[in-house]
Structure 1
Amino acid sequence: MDKQAILDALAEEIVKEKVCSDLADQATQLVMGDGNPDADIIFIGEAPGKNEDLQGKPFVGAAGKFLDEMLKSANLQRSDVYITNIVKYRPPNNRDPLPEEKRQFWPYLLRQLEIIQPKAVLTLGRHSGGGFIPGLQIGKEHGHPRKVRLHELEFVVIPLYHPAAALYNGGMRQTLIDDFIQAVEFVKNNSGA
């Protein structure tokens, strides 16, 4: 079975197992992930928003457009990377995912990582980054690579601000682009890619 088929089966399992059924009941659909299942880089956000819930793909709203712009700045496109979220259903009113919701989805996220086998995980926002780096202070640690070991998996995690932060604070836009380009360069230079 190819990686995409395995990821599709994992998505079916999440629905069948009724993971976060309260969230599932008010969401349009599961938003599993999108992109290249053989990617060296995986982006992990927090949870789908309204547009993601409607289209079934992560980062397709305003923050997604900025993510596309960041990819382009590093000579990448969505088909070069894989994009997902910790929580796979939209929380009501785009509220932050609750600790229990993140906990329920965590084993499935780890399985996604096992399947994809990325060289680096670029977390988007403090909820995502904090899952991999306990006590993360995004303001101090953004853009700094860290080796992380989770169970049998070891990879580089590079915490980044969430693209939405640049939409609310235009001054962060360049910081995010700079961190992003540096992160992609780091992965290329340290993975033989």
Structure 2
Amino acid sequence: MAGACAETRLETLRGKALALFAERGFAQVGMRELALHLGMAAGSLYHHFESKEQLLFELIEELYEELLGAPRRVARGSARERLEQLLQRHIALHERRPAQFQLAEQELRCLTPAHRRRIQGLREAYEERLAHLLLEAGAGGAPARLRFGVQALVTWLNNLPPACPDLTAQQRQDAVGALLLAALDSLLEPAPRERSLPLAWPALGAG
């Protein structure tokens, strides 16, 4: 019971820190301000978090690990159907964790080189899975075009705008879905067989 309570408290602290980083910007939040926001003394923070940078890294790493787990949950259907399901899961995750996506896109530069390489490797692994699903669904053309398309698609999904007060949740989902289908149709545009080449993806962690 004590362990469960401690874990719940840690998640609450992480959530509050995440909200503050997203609102103020990671570099603008000092340890004293963070401690005050969490309702504790600055020295007490180190009982919960190794460092402010480590906390940022864990928040971003957690997000990409969640994205990488999604393909295992969309194992049925045609390649196109699995691709659409995977991207819809990406959209749904963004709806639940917009602040974490904001940190992942805007605060990556604040990580140490080793942590940055880890995050870049996770993102490349996710992009590679999307690319192979696209190939399975019939994408053709030069590998560079497919790679660029996948990277652009992931960047767009990571930067979806916040909820619009003039749209219901369903209207927002429908609008995002329509744009997503248009992007997929563009990436799946038929190309001459002789121009279709195996996808050469960078090795994980390269950089």
- Settle same-fold status: TM greater than 0.5: no
* TM-score (norm: length of structure 2): 0.30
* TM-score (norm: length of structure 1): 0.32
Structure with the higher fraction of residues in helix conformation: 2
Larger Rg: 2
Structure with the higher fraction of residues in strand conformation: 1
